[in-house]
Structure 1
Amino acid sequence: KSKVFLKYYHAEQLSRLYSDMVRAIVTIQSYVRMRLVRSRFKQRQYKHSNDMIIQELHRHPKFSRSNIDDEQLTKEKAIIHIQSCIRGYLQRYRFRRMKNRKPKATKSYETAAAIIQKCYRGFVVRKAYHIYRQRLNTQILCFLQHIELISNEFFTKTVKTNYSVPFKNLEPRPINMFLNKTFTQRISQYLFPPSPPLPVPSPFSMFSPPLPPPDAPTLIRPSMITSNILIGRGSRFLNGTE
């Protein structure tokens, strides 16, 4: 019962509808292809026209490399000429102002010599003071480094000897003068270290204050913590507990 029996005019009508649909589809496709081809052709034509314009401009003598270089050189020459004219005008204006000024009374040779000597002395003293400041900064830096080394050494020794001892193990010991003298020398070394090395003397030492001799002791004011530690260690050493 699923079969459909069509008459001849129904089959002819369906074939006509099919042909109309195919014709419409082909027409739409042809219009779409024509549109795409036209757009591509216009783009290619536009690009070709631009290329032709660029080539024509490149071939034109006005836009040649030599002509552009000549124009740039002409601009630079014009700029240089304008600058030279402005400089000349400014110099002439200054010269005219100097010329119109009233001539001052000429100073004597002695006054001129005194001014020259004053300027030279000031230059020499400033240079000598600069060298003196450099030497002083070097001495301060050496002194601080020396103090830092001594502090580090003292701290390491303090840390190494910082351990607890039972009270039962302590025994009385007579005071030895030799050990007492040795400990006094150590304390004096910590409190009064040798002076740092001096820099090389400069030829302008005559303008700087005299420096202390190398053998002169450098006085250092120890801190309260360092003094208390040294006094405690000295008392323990003399009592025989260390």
Structure 2
Amino acid sequence: MSAFDLTSFIAHHQEDAAQKILHSAMSAFDNIAVSFSGAEDVVLIDMAVKANKNVQVFSLDTGRLHPETYRFIEKVRKHYQLEIDVLSPDHQELETFTRRKGLFSFFDDGHKECCGIRKVRPLKRKLATLDAWVTGQRKDQSPGTRNVLAFAEADSAFSTDEKTLFKFNPLANWSSEDVWNYIKMFDVPYNELHSKGFVSIGCEPCTRPVLPNQHEREGRWWWEESEHKECGLHIGNVIPTQQG
């Protein structure tokens, strides 16, 4: 692959639809993968397979997901006839952590350490093998941390001195309504928890349904202040960048 020109990519796709941004990103990189966990990500998978049946997809299995989420992962795998790389935490690190602090320490001292072991480090191992990745992040998911979200960026959280990792967020300017209109229009699979009042879905102990007129992120880590409601997967969001 020739050197990727991020500035040129942004300039040429500023007014483009999400599908074109995604397809252009997949054309620019051979070693690119879609991160899959929620409804937005399956929209991206649906778009991606229409352009390339061999799209790479990965998902994080923290060991604490809802049963419905595990069924959802399998439903998506079968529906799109995909291989999904399901990533697990390092078992020795996780066993040491739970032996020392128990299974619910995040209620006392915050979710960062648990998320670091169960989510961030498995993701970091995966991203070290990629040149670029695609997420379903949207600006309106968490206005306090994602309002500067760009549709294409150098990943400040997971790039290294040796390699710049590129990150694409084709749905950055979409709303939740846009996502669900696409799901209904194209009969895209979704997590059955959405029918039970869950909007933003993570680990079972840290996720709950939201009430009418509550923001979707209020269902995540509800015992913490709103500015802390990122798990570390998208830590670059909290630091405004030139791409913002």
> Into which bin does the TM-score normalised by the smaller protein fall?
under 0.3
Greater helix content: 1
Greater strand content: 2
- TM-score normalised by the chain length of structure 2: 0.16
- TM-score normalised by the chain length of structure 1: 0.16
Q: Answer with 1 or 2: which has the greater Rg.
A: 1
